[in-house]
Amino acid sequence: MHAPELGATGLKLVGGRLLPGPTGPASFLMYESASGERFTIYTARAADEMTQMRYASQDKDGALFWADHGVGYVVSGGSDRERLTQVARLVYDQTEKSGG
């Protein structure tokens, strides 16, 4: 897993961690904009080979999640679905080009 480059959305990588996941190692990356807006990307092995991108929200937080090539992705941030979709699409496009 390579950390996606999200500069086109005004986000800069500020840190990351390798975590224990439900099916093995997982990664957790945090990005922040100049205004303090934060997004995280969580990735881990997924039981499903592929799923469509889905949206979930609660209170002021939202997340888009999907699986591709046996890897699950969750991009979370504020509840602005359009902004979240912009970030998640960039992550998706970059992981597709690099093969995961």
What tens digit of pLDDT does each residue of 15-66 get?
Answer: 999 999 988 999 999 999 999 999 999 999 998 888 899 999 999 999 999 9
As a whole number, mean pLDDT of residues 58-85 equals 94
What value does the mean pLDDT take over residues 70-97? 94
* pLDDT band (50, 70, 90) for residue 79: confident
pLDDT in the model for residue 47: 86
Phi then psi for residue 10, to 5 deg, are 85, 15
Nearest Cα residue to 46 out of 18, 70, 28: 70
pTM of the model: 0.92
Q: What pLDDT was estimated at residue 100?
A: 58
pLDDT at 98 exceeding the cut of 80: no
Query: Between 1 and 44, whose confidence is greater?
Result: 44
- If one counts every other C-beta atom within 10 angstroms of the C-beta of residue 87, the result is 23
Three-class DSSP category at 93: helix
